[in-house]
Amino acid sequence: MEAKVILNPYSNRWRAEKRWPQAEALLQEAGVDFSLDVSQYHGHAVELAREAALAGHSPIIAAGGDGTIGEVVNGIAQARGENSLGVLGIMPLGTANDLVCNLGLPLDLAEASAVIAAGKTRTLDVCKAGERYFVNNSAMGLEPYITVIQQEIKLLKGIPRYLMAAIKGIIRNPAWQAKVQWDDGSYEGPLTLISVGNAPRTGGLFFMAPAADPADGKLTFVLAYKKSSMKLLALLPKTMTPEGKFVNASGVQQIHSTHISVELDQPSPAHSDGELFPERVTKLEYSILPGIIQVLSV
C-alpha cells in the first residue's frame, strides 16, 4: 500500500508550505511511493490520518512539527484502537521538531527522506492525557501557560519566541493547589508546573523530563513549585541542559509511573505535543500504552 503524507502547511508559521515542494521532490527521488493530503484547519490532520489509517495506507507520514505529529497519531489511534498503530514517518517541517531531535532523527530533508525510504523502524510508547494521545510531551500549569503567551508574541519567531514567552511566564509565576497520585506515591500542595514526558526535550530548548525514555513503558513526570519568581527564573537555564540539573533543585521532583492523576484547585491550560486543549482543566488522567507504534528511524 502506498504511503500517505499529511502536510500541515501552517507549521513553523507557514514555512512548511514553502518547504514542501523541496520535501516532495526529495521523497520522490528517494523512491517513496506516496499520495498527499493537506490539512486545512486546526484538527484537520486528525481527520486525514484517521481516513488514511482506515484506508490501509502505510506508512503514514506527518509533514510538519510536533503538533502535526500529535494530530496524526491521534487520528491513527481513532482508526486502529490501542493495540497497534502501525508505522509513522516524519518529515521535519516544524519549528522545534522536538520528537525528531529526541529520537536522533535527521532534520535535513534529504536525510529524512532516505530514512523513510529505508523502512527501518523502532518501537515507541504512546501516552494519553485524558482522551488525547501524545508521543513527546504534555503538561499542565506553567508550561502550557507559557504556550499561551508565546502564541500572543508576534514580533519574534522560532526559538527566541519560546524563550521570551518562558521568561514572561516565569515572572508572572502562576501557581495551583494540587492533588497528584501515581503508581506508588502521591503529593498534595502547591505546584507551579506538572510536565509529563515520553521524551526529554520540549519547546526546542527545555529538557523538562530529562530522564524520559520513549520506549521504557513509563511516563516520566516532573512536579515543581517555587514561591519566588526569582527562584523559579534561576531554574530556567538548568532546564536547558540535557543533564536536567533542575530536577535536583529543592521543590522539584522527577518520577516514573504508568499512571498519573492530577486534580487542581483552579483551571489550568493544558497541552499535548504542543497543542493546547480547547478548554482549561482542573482534572486530568495520564496513562501509557507501551510499544504500540513503529516510527521510521535510522
Q: How many residues would you count in the chain?
A: 298
Phi, psi angles (nearest 5°) of residue 181: -125, 145
Domain spans, the chain: 3-119, 137-291
- Nearest-CA neighbor of 62 among 204, 75, 54? 75
Q: pTM of the prediction?
A: 0.94
Q: Do domains 3-119 and 137-291 have the same CATH topology?
A: no
pLDDT confidence band for 163 (50 / 70 / 90): confident
Coil, strand, or helix at residue 270? Answer: strand
Q: How far apart are CA 213 and CA 193, in angstroms?
A: 20
Cβ(237)–Cβ(205) under 8 Å? no
pLDDT confidence band for 158 (50 / 70 / 90): confident
Reported as a single tens digit per residue, the pLDDT across 219-278 is 999 999 999 999 999 999 999 999 988 999 999 999 999 999 999 999 999 999 989 999
Reported as a single tens digit per residue, the pLDDT across 178-200 is 999 999 999 999 999 999 999 99
Reported as a single tens digit per residue, the pLDDT across 65-115 is 999 999 999 999 999 999 899 999 999 999 999 999 999 999 999 999 999
Helix-helix angle 109-118:15-29, to 10 degrees: 50
- Nearest-CA neighbor of 77 among 38, 50, 41, 115? 50
- Lookup result for grid cell 498527499: 36
CATH of domain 3-119: 3.40.50.10330
Structure confidence at residue 187 (pLDDT): 98
Cβ(298)–Cβ(103) under 8 Å? no
- In degrees, rounded to 5, the angle at the alpha carbon of residue 99 between the alpha carbons of residues 156 and 9 is 55
CATH of domain 137-291: 2.60.200.40
Q: How far apart are CA 236 and CA 239, in angstroms?
A: 5
Q: How far apart are CA 92 and CA 97, in angstroms?
A: 6
Q: How far apart are CA 288 and CA 30, in angstroms?
A: 34
